[in-house]
Chain A
Amino acid sequence: MLWLPATLIALAMVAPLAYLVIRGAGASEETWSLLFRARTAELLWRSVVLMATVTTVSVALGVPLAWLTVRSDIPLRRFWSVVAVLPLVVPSYVGALVVVSALGPTGLLRDILDGPLGVQRLPEIYGLSGTTLTLALLNYPLVLLIVKGALNGLDPALGDSARSLGVSPAVAVLRVTLPQLKPAIASGSLLVALYTLSDFGAVSLLGYETFTWAIYQQYQTSFDRSVASSLSLVLVAVAATVLVLEARSRGRARYYRTGPGAARPPAVVPLGRWRWPAVALCAAVGLAAVAGPVAVLGYWVGQGIAAGEREMLLWGELWNSVLISGAAALVTAACSVPIAALAVRYPSPISQLVERLSFTGYALPGVVVALSLVFVGVNVVRPVYQTGWMLLFAYVVLFLPVALGATRSAMMQASPGLEEAARGLGRTPLQTLLTVIVPQMRSGMLVGVALVFLVAIKELPATLILGPLGFQTLATAVWSASSEAFYARASAPALMLVLVSSIPMAALVWRGERLRA
């Protein structure tokens, strides 16, 4: 019953990658020689450097903020814990737009400073440092969320043990707490690293040339698309290497409680004189990553209205965005059910393989999926090429891992014991499904739907490449206006995008806080 749909879905998820590999294998000598140029090495180097810097800064921001919002007595703890995840609603290209339009050579800050102070030059924001800062500020919540989860699950008795063995609190954090958080930090870093590798919008707008940018350029300018597809394969190989490295970092030690018994709730650590510096850190991050961008976008929208710009509210684009992301969220969540059910209820090497295959999209940058689907569309399934279906499929490939995570944990909570109890009380399997399993999974499934909606509505490269002719979403509208430096025209859809993304985000935050209470 489950095997057929699960296997079909898993195979479909691998199809784009498989197609790329087949194409790559059949590429001409010429293509391969093109690939082994210094240029490729340079792109590789730049991508890896960016990945390293963004990941480092994200960890440096995410871990302290997680600790502060879980374990400390920081004033307004709940408020900061909501603020700290909000950057997730700002797409990277919107962040880049804000940076360019506020701090760039023709931006807001220079206009302000130029008048009274005569400042002409500002620190360079294009290139590595600007891109790092933008991507890290928007992606550190990925580290934060996972580390928070780990901190909540951490047994506070371990810290107590350390202290009764004669170790001071600060040393206990270093020798016990931090090593315990290592796997959480590693998986958070993995998410950030993979995202950075796949980011297209910010690197393009901030002029930091990476693989994704080069692939898109190749795709746009050249008729020979095998170069683009070979580049894509290299990019996938880098992503795969990152995945392997993270898996290797685990080793034999365990990182969760070994003993049975209930843990004490974690003790709150008083910050003492570090109180206000901690608040300052939270406030600075909140300002830079959330309040600042919204204010800048608001400013440009105001400028646009003052200048008589019309059609600031892009209702059509908004509708397209909501429609395609909503559809992607529902379809992806539905696809995740048979795979998660198979993996949770019938664990075996084969069901595990099916699940692993479904995670392919995790390591695939949007540009790569889009590109391979272009090939598939042109050569194999002509009728759906350049239709919404193709884009929808790309979203499912890219975001199925997100939905799977949520569905899987929802399914783990619906314990088989309860199912058996219901059967024992005389319910049929179908009745059991409807009256016991679905109600238990509903809330976890909604998390999956909300998460996919959130990432799909921000998605840019696949939408650009696969969107049907004339199909504009908020994302593509922001992109086309900001790549031509029409700040006012870009800011309106950007602001709308941030606001729309806030809805699923609010639902997620509200649920998270309710679970904690």
Chain B
Amino acid sequence: MIGPVVQCVDATKRFGEVMAIDRVSFVLAPGEILSVLGPSGCGKTTLLRTIAGFETLERGEIRIQERLVSSPAVHVPPERRQVGMVFQDYSLFPHLTVVQNVRFGLERLSRQDRQHRVAEVLDLARLMGLEDRYPHELSGGQQQRVALARTLAPRPVTVLLDEPFSNVDATMRAEMRLEVEQILRENQVTTVLVTHNREEAFAIADRIAVMRDGALDQIDTPEVLFNAPSTRFVARMTGISDFLPGRAGSDGRVLTELGDLPYRAGDSEIAAGSAVDLLVHADDFQVLVDPYGRSAVAAREFRGDEVLLAVRVPSGDTIRCRQHHGSTLPTGTNVTLVPTRVEPFLAFAREVSSDE
């Protein structure tokens, strides 16, 4: 039985007054790909840098293959952790060719082993033929594959990817994501990938950790995160989420301006009679044209494969609804929203002074 590859327990790090990472705990199994999803500045990169050993830990501990590498008392330097990191801008050494870059971390191998490993890694990253190019002579995708090859070459225990696709234009992103995922899966690389892009996290990860202000709100599979977010923040990060205010009844239903809707409790117990917000996803309501409807289309966004309508409900809130790409409802159309969701809606207690 192989133990966990990375273990974080209560990892905490402050920059002055700012909590960069706040009691972060998770366990990473061999071959698993974990995405850390959060807005910029939430501490994702600091978490990676702490695991890699570029930042020290104030509280808690980090173990790699059960060896303690970071704690307030222990700090194993990055070069002795066997953790590979692919930096956001790849950080290829501009004065070295592709081969020299890939060979950089293999100095300790014998000449023969080194050549063998370099060839192997170049092959798996499909870089054959580019050996003698300098980084600036490569395309963005090629640069990224070199960075990945260089990181994989010394056979690290785990690989950390910092916003790997943020520098790639949108048209290339899906393709590169597939390539990278394929390389990681084929080699069963245990990976932590940091991103602020929901699609990216969902596409590549076995599990997703949602991070807010340095702390992990929830860590689970993409499906669970989407269907059962533990906080409003997670709901916002993982889907097109709106909140519909209402009052909980005693019969498992919430009275809202769009009708009497079934609910189950989200982040805390819901007392009958208390004010709640229901989490509404973009496909929870059907939009019906209705000249006497009390809601109206406030804005429409054509997204190619679908149309996203923002519908203003009587109270002035907006609920976003996904439509077939052939939908031609113009803004201003009066409509009625009809619930189509089979399962109960997730209800979050209304907090008085919350920003959420």
Contacts and interface: CB of A to CB of B under 8 A. Distances in A.
Nearest to B133: A252
B173 to A, nearest CB: 14
B91 interface: yes
A160 interface: yes
Given A155-B91, A167-B79, A254-B94, A160 B85 contact: yes
Contacts of A166: 79-80, 82, 105, 107-108, 154
A348 interface: no
A160 B150 contact: no
A261 B94 contact: no
Nearest to B144: A259
Secondary structure type dominating chain B contacts: loop
A261 B167 contact: yes
Interface residues of B, number: 35
Given A164-B83, A165-B154, A167-B79, A254 B89 contact: no
A124 B339 CA distance: 99
Contacts of B81: 164
A254 B105 contact: no
B78 A179 contact: no
A254 B91 contact: no
B87 A157 contact: yes
A253 B134 contact: yes
Contact of B89 (A155, A175, A180): A155
B252 to A, nearest CB: 50
B91 A158 contact: yes
A168 B89 CA distance: 22
Given A162-B104, A261-B89, A255 B94 contact: yes
Given A164-B78, A165-B104, A254-B135, A158 B85 contact: no
A165 B96 CA distance: 15
Nearest to A263: B89
Nearest to A162: B104
Contacts of A158: 91, 93
Contacts of A179: 93, 95
B143 interface: yes
Interface centre among B90, B151, B154 (most CB of A within 10 A): B90
A258 to B, nearest CB: 4
Interface string A449-472: 000000000000000000000000
B134 A163 contact: no
A256 interface: yes
Contact of B93 (A176, A252, A261, A263): A176
A257 to B, nearest CB: 7
A347 interface: no
A304 to B, nearest CB: 55
A383 interface: no
A163 B78 contact: yes
Given A163-B77, A163-B79, A165-B104, A259 B91 contact: yes
Contacts of B53: 163-164
B233 interface: no
B54 interface: yes
A260 interface: yes
A161 interface: yes
B92 interface: yes
Given A155-B89, A254-B135, A260-B167, A167 B94 contact: no
A254 B87 contact: no
B105 A165 contact: yes
B75 to A, nearest CB: 13
Contacts of A175: 104
A167 B87 CA distance: 16
A30 to B, nearest CB: 52
Given A167-B105, A261-B166, A157 B91 contact: yes
B88 interface: yes
Contacts of B151: 164-165
B114 to A, nearest CB: 13
B148 to A, nearest CB: 12
Interface centre among B87, B90, B95 (most CB of A within 10 A): B95
Contacts of B91: 155, 157-158, 160-161, 259
A508 to B, nearest CB: 30
Top 7 A-B residue pairs of the complex, sorted by shortest distance between their CB atoms:
A259-B89, A165-B105, A261-B89, A157-B91, A161-B91, A163-B78, A254-B94
10 contacts: A161-B150, A164-B52, A164-B85, A165-B150, A165-B151, A175-B104, A260-B167, A261-B88, A261-B167, A263-B89
Given A166-B107, A175-B104, 8 more contacts: A157-B88, A160-B52, A165-B105, A253-B95, A258-B94, A258-B136, A259-B90, A259-B143
Interface of A: 155, 157-158, 160-169, 175-176, 179-180, 182, 252-261, 263
Interface of B: 52-54, 77-85, 87-96, 104-105, 107-108, 134-136, 143, 150-151, 154, 166-167
